[in-house]
Structure 1
Amino acid sequence: MIVASASRRESDVVDNDDFLALDDQLDDAECSVRDTVRAYATEHFLPRVDDWYQSGELPRQIAKELGGLGVLGMQLDGYGCANASPAAYGVACRELEAVDSGLRSFLSVQSCLAMYAIHRWGDEDQRREWLPGMASGDALGCFGLTEPESGSDPSSMRTVARRDGGDWVIDGTKAWMSNGTIADVAIIWAGTERGPRGFLMPTSAPGYTATEIRDKLSLRASVSTNLRLENVRVPASAMLPLARGLKAPLSCLNEARFGIVWGLAGAARTCYTAALRYAGRRRQFGRPIAGFQLTQRKLATMVVELTYAGLTALRLAQLKRDGTLTPEQISLGKLANARSAIEVARAARTILGANGITLAHPVARHLANLDAVLTVEGTEEVHQLIIGRAVTGISAFR
């Protein structure tokens, strides 16, 4: 579980990876989450992440480890969840993605796409049945919205659910589901006569067939799956009763996007610190390359982008805490921080030279991941159009 920890070092004038001392804005509980998750991730996940990346897997046991840390569904209240602040959840995402985007993605899918869907849109029986086990990591969830022909436009989904007596029968396909082959329950969104609805579907149900995507070159320390549903029968009680229309699944995506905003700052921090250390010890022309003006220009630009990302994440957490955060503001944060993180990673790779493309350093792995995170939970273009609609009052989607 999360334990207390010391505050930021008072003797530091400038913290190399927190130039404006943004973490001084965190309260004691949020600092405790930061330090506990960072320490555990560094000791237990970092030594294994290269093997996971090379083998293209993330072990199911990660759920129990994260459950032991108290971070699964930590932003929710009750049912074994911690009711933590937005910033506390954010720093947990940041410290996990500082190791690898796959870890943060695992947390996002479990906490925001699966658990939040049940907590916000389910009934009391569904919450009691699933949430305690999901908070501990004993039960794992996944989320099925994206389809082979329906990505940025979920209204065009082809998966359908039809009534058959007292049951629902669901047919269709889903694509790019994280954890679909290792989950216990899937949150499946399907069209009905009354519009899109969400269903809790045990992955052991006959007709549920998940196939892992193995040929990925990004987010390799993550389980991605395609799903086929053939006459999958679930009882009427499997429907999320409060989820009517696309507002429900989109709300889950916004929960996940908030965590991504923080996670991107963690990936950028790792790339920057790796480049800074390397520049200090790599010598050319008789001195460390950190002493050359062009290298310092790169490092300074990275500090600025890293600080932008941290400021954006912190401000969104404040707005979320106050209950005023809008989907458009989340889109701005996701778009801005993805761009900043990628710029930092690319600059870091150039400082490391050819060494930067090996797994001896974390930069190329993060750079490959970030290229996918740029489009995960909404592409760059979609977020631009969301912001554009907000400032003009005109929708460019249709």
Structure 2
Amino acid sequence: MLQKIKSFIASFSVFELFVGMRYTRAKRKNHFISFISLTSMIGIALGVAALIIVLSVMNGFQKDLRTRILGVASHLEITGSNNTLSDWPNIAESSVKREHVLASAPYITAQAMLSYGQGVQGAIIRGVIPAAEDKVADLGKSMRVGSLNDLRAGEFGIILGTDLAYNLGAQMGDKVVVMAPQGQFTPAGVVPRLKQFTVIGLFSSGMQEYDAGLALIHMDDAAKLYRMDNKVSGVRLKLDDLFIAPNVAASISKDLNQPSNPTGAYYVTDWTQQHSNFFKAVQMEKRVMFIILTLIVAVAAFNIVSTLVMAVTDKRADIAIMRTFGASPASIMAIFIVQGALIGLIGTLIGAVFGVIVALNIDVIIPFIEGLFHIQFLAKDVYQISEVPSDLIWSDVTTIVIVSFVLSLLATLYPSWRASKINPAEALRYE
């Protein structure tokens, strides 16, 4: 079978290419055939362009979401039982010495109720050391007002997410009351621990989850508020390659949880586990969209079947004459394969060029459409991001072009085979 395919490809000559190209661009008496050819070409172009644009948007969405999450979160987190680590200095020091680990930072995290005036909001309090935190996350780049380094031990300053500050009605310099859920026993009963913090900064990560529910304070202040003494909630690590985080996490977990270790269990989680639902959903949507849009390309490509069937019927006399002058059935088949392949190739290339141009300029096109029609494609509170991102991956473009062209070639096989089976005597009988 493979030998037959090779011999068929080798049989292509200038004659088949010349006639096939001439049939493609010649003005036909039957304008309906030309119309279907044009429709097939446009359909393939639109399908290819749609595939490139949609996959670029999905790639951009995934990349942007990952960047925003890791701007606040970290590649790896090491925690202990009961959400506390007592020997965190040793863990932080030993972790940094590992291959692929760039930096470490301890943190304290706990729930709290924030109050200002009439506004009350629940939030996650994260106690950090600013100098260390800047090495494991890019939150410092998300600061809208103030700086992460403005957090100083003992001054009880707080940095709020922009949406959290808006919901509270708090601004820079305002005094926000932080209520810890762990109460303290007094003669009057259990009283929640309260502490007044001064708003010294606002950040906007672009992620609704963090902007509306995260507040930063100095780790020493968090230790006092939550009575952590010399303990922390965990240690955050940054790697030189975020995609090897699962492997590094497994290695660290294996080393820390040795049977001879008397300090208890350690839990090592990476960013793919902490936000797996986001990325699994995006990946699933990308696969489904690829399948759906490939079917659109397939429908357009198989319109070539109709075009070539009618072209074969229209060219029966020409086929008979060529056969009479010595053209082989393989040559006749090759002529119509060339004709159909050209339709598919031109449509594919037009669609690829158009799709690449749109994908590379989607950051300009989408805002223009949104401003023109006064609409917003992505609501921040639903999709986590408010801009339509795009990340053009050339391997995706190559795959789409190859798939489209292969579908076009497959669509030419049956009508071309039918053309090669035409009997010259019967075709010329009524001419």
Greater relative contact order (Cα 8 A, min sep 6): structure 1 or 2?
Answer: 2
TM-score, normalisation: structure 1: 0.24
Larger Rg: 2
TM-score, normalisation: structure 2: 0.23
Return the structure number with greater helix share. 2
